[in-house]
Amino acid sequence: MNNIDTQQSNKLVSIIMATYNRAHLIAEMLDSVQQQKYTHWECIIVNDGSTDDTDLVVQKYSEHDKRFRYVYRPQNYGKGLPGCRNYGLDIAKGEYVVFFDDDDVVHPQLLELSVEGISSGMYDFCQYRKQWFAEHRPDINLQTHVEMEGTLNHSHISDLITYKHPMASCTVLWKKSFLSERFDDTLQYAEEWEYYNRLFLHHPAFKGLVFKNTLYYNRKHPQSNTGEFFNADTKRIHSQSKASYLLLCNYIKSEYTLNKSVTQYLLNILIRNRANEMYTESVKQLTPEYMNRLYRQLVYLLYPVYYPIYKILHIL
């Protein structure tokens, strides 16, 4: 692994972390931030209105290490992860930005390797891998070098939108200058999927670096947004539908030539979630011809019948 030169080591990284009632978990994450080998960072912790002992836990860190900035989400920013992250972005001072969650753990070389990677070329972001854990985090070994997987650009937009190449919210270090827009703070699930791909659609000259190193460890538990989604929480499901609809609208308006598999992927989310109004509006934008609209409406209406049959046949 090449050492980061003096010029790069002076570049500030802004870590943005929303928190809500995680007094029992956030200390482990803050400890892992404090153990970063790359030391020129600020960690902006945005309290989203916690009612537990989050203040007591976090203030111990911010009082003893001024790199921790503990703030409260203002009322003019929407409640939830997107609003907190937007506020963090608006007050961040760093040249680079990364989003962490308050219930996870990071590798001590995450910032070191990511800054080294993103500064090795004209990259807008650097992506790394994550590993999930339940109760006990995996053993963390120091990395000797960056393992390159490849680069991402406009030719990969289909894979990015359809999750063939997933980008989790906390597995990307960004150049702050590339984050010219903000999260949609009405979304409470799939907000990073909509946001990151919106950036790619609006800035088709993007260039990202991807490497294989696992540098982030996310905790699986039923109280997480993802856990609630897979437990069929209606708020999370509606948010996924809206994210899909917004992404489809941006895709239609972008410079990209529409790809049938991408549009169908986004429509299928609306069909599966029974998002009737958004599905109907999407069909109007995609297919102005009446018969095409009628066909897609029939697909929507018959989905509850043919999808279980399809699953049975697929299993067999």
pLDDT tens for 47-89 read 999 999 999 999 999 999 999 999 999 999 999 999 999 999 9
Report the residue count for the chain. Answer: 316
- Of 225, 255, 279, which residue is a domain's last? 225
Q: In sequence order, what are the residues at sequence separation of 6 or more whose Cβ sits closer than 8 angstroms to the Cβ of residue 91?
A: 44, 69, 71
Tokens representing residue 185 in the block: 């703070």
What whole-number percentage of the chain has pLDDT above 90? 74
Position 17 confidence tier, pLDDT thresholds 50, 70, 90: very high
Residue 1 domain flag: no
Query: Tens of pLDDT along 203-223?
Result: 999 999 999 999 999 998 776
The overall longest dimension of the chain from CA atoms, in Å, is: 67
Across 249-267, b (16+ Cβ under 10 Å) vs e yields bbbeebebeeeeebbebbb
Q: Specify whether 285 is located in the same domain as 152.
A: no
Mean pLDDT computed over 267-287: 90
Q: What is the pLDDT of residue 8?
A: 63
Let me know if residue 202 belongs to a domain.
yes
Residue 283: what pLDDT? 87
**Residue type, position 136, single letter:** H
Give the range of the structural domain holding residue 182, as residue numbers without chain letter.
Answer: 6-225
Count: domains in the chain: 2
Domain boundary among 162, 192, 225: 225
Tokens, residue 253: 């308006």
Helix (H) or strand (E) holding 45: strand 41-47
Name 311's Cβ contacts closer than 8 Å, sequence gap at least 6.
none
The pTM of this model reads: 0.89
pLDDT tens profile 227-250: 777 677 899 999 999 999 999 999
Whole-number pLDDT of residue 220:
86
Helix/strand/coil percentages in the chain, nearest 5? 45, 20, 35
Grade residue 316 by pLDDT with cuts at 50, 70 and 90.
very low
As a whole number of angstroms, the distance between CA 184 and CA 150 comes to 29
* Residue % of the chain over a pLDDT of 70: 89
Spatial distance between the Cα atoms of 314 and 298, rounded to a whole number of angstroms = 22
Instruction: Tell me what pLDDT residue 138 has.
Output: 82
- On whether both 242 and 201 belong to a single domain, the answer is no
The whole-number pLDDT of residue 6 equals 55
pLDDT of residue 177: 97
The pLDDT of 266-283, averaged and rounded, is 92
CA 122/CA 86 separation, integer angstroms: 25
Given a cut of 70, whether residue 2 has pLDDT beyond it is no
Shared domain for 38 and 181, answered yes or no, is yes
Q: Give the DSSP letter of residue 257.
A: P
Q: Are residues 26 and 94 in the same domain?
A: yes
279 vs 181: CA distance, rounded Å: 26
Pairing of β 172-175 and β 105-106: unpaired
CA distance 225 to 189: 7
Q: What is the CATH number of the domain that holds 126?
A: 3.90.550.10
**Is 112 in the same domain as 245?**
no
User: Quick one: average pLDDT of 189-194?
Assistant: 97
- Asked whether residue 121 falls in the same domain as residue 208, the answer is yes
